Amino acid sequence: MVDLPIQNDCIYSALFTPATAGGELDTDRMKELVRFEIDHGVEGFYCCGSSGEGLLLEKEERMKIVEIVAQEAGDNVPFIVHTGALSTREAITLSKHAEKNGASAVSLIPPIYYKYKQEEIFQYYKDVVDAVGLGVIVYNIPQFTGISFSKGNSVLEDEKIIGIKHTSMNLYELERIKQAFPKKMIINGFDEIWLYSLTAGATSTIGTTVNVCSKLLRAIKNAFDKGEIPQAQGLQSKLNEFIETLVNINVFPAAKYCMNVLGLDIGNCRKPFGTLTSLEKTMIEDAMQKISDFL
């Protein structure tokens, strides 16, 4: 197993990507956002993933974000970089850049759009693993990619695949992976099942709402660790009521607007995402009021 400066018990923010009014990367607000989140209890960052609109960004923008996070996070918190791409060549370029800038690990969705054979998907990961000295985390998000990773997947057998970001409601599959690979990081990817993923073997989480209310997700973990399950369930329900509002609107634009409510205007999601209505913004503000103790 690769020895890495990465925590196996961490609340990682699936970091947003701030945008200017014209839809360009806002580097100044990116710096502010990283500092803001560290000050509010975020324990690590996951850059350029789904919440960061990674696949809507240019390669150069993704690299710039990594450089900013490296500069602002420094030695304070670990950061993981999502380097998944349509081509192996670009995935390797992004992964090498992440390594050069001090990332704790890289994480990749499988190659998408074309219908690849299982061995081709395996080779995609192996090529990245062989190209960098960092550990690699598989990003399992089957509802977006159409590809699901289970304990029988040969990709997970490589020792430089240090873990899996399991963004799936299938907790049976998570538990089976944990039992098959007890030394690998099992990272939850859906905030709405954070508590229940802990019972199945997850120890860390990477989430959209961590940007907004990391204290609430940490409170769920603390209650679970103390065996205070009814307390943990109540907190998870509180989080889920908030998440339900965001999901009903459109989770990524809605969650991004939460930062505006907290006083840090990070703009809209990149097109083809649309903008929120006044009614939707009011709904988000009302939902945030219900978790105000954790903001």
CA 140, CA 155: separation in Å to the nearest integer?
Answer: 12
Helix (H, G, I), strand (E, B), or coil: what is residue 141? coil
Name the residue among 131, 66, 76, 129 with its Cα closest to residue 102: 66
Entry field: residues in the chain: 295
Query: Residue 110 — left, alpha, or beta (φ > 0 → left; ψ -120 to 50 → alpha)?
Result: beta
122: tokens are 């395996």
Distance of CA 287 to CAs 13, 20, 237, 251, Å?
20, 26, 13, 13
Task: Verify whether residue 165 is a known catalytic residue.
Answer: yes
CA 127, CA 1: separation in Å to the nearest integer?
Answer: 18
- Helix, strand and coil content of the chain, in percent to the nearest 5, comes to 50, 15, 35
31: tokens are 């710096």
CB distance 184 to 149 below 8 Å = no
CB distance 207 to 181 below 8 Å = no
Task: Verify whether residue 46 is a known catalytic residue.
Answer: no
Please tell me which residue in 12, 125, 139, 196 is annotated as part of the active site: 139
Burial of residue 147 (number of CB atoms within 10 Å: 0-12, 13-18, 19+):
middle
Name the residue among 84, 181, 101, 96 with its Cα closest to residue 131: 96
Please tell me which residue in 12, 46, 125, 165 is annotated as part of the active site: 165
The residue type found at 80 is I
User: Which residues are part of the catalytic machinery?
Assistant: 139, 165
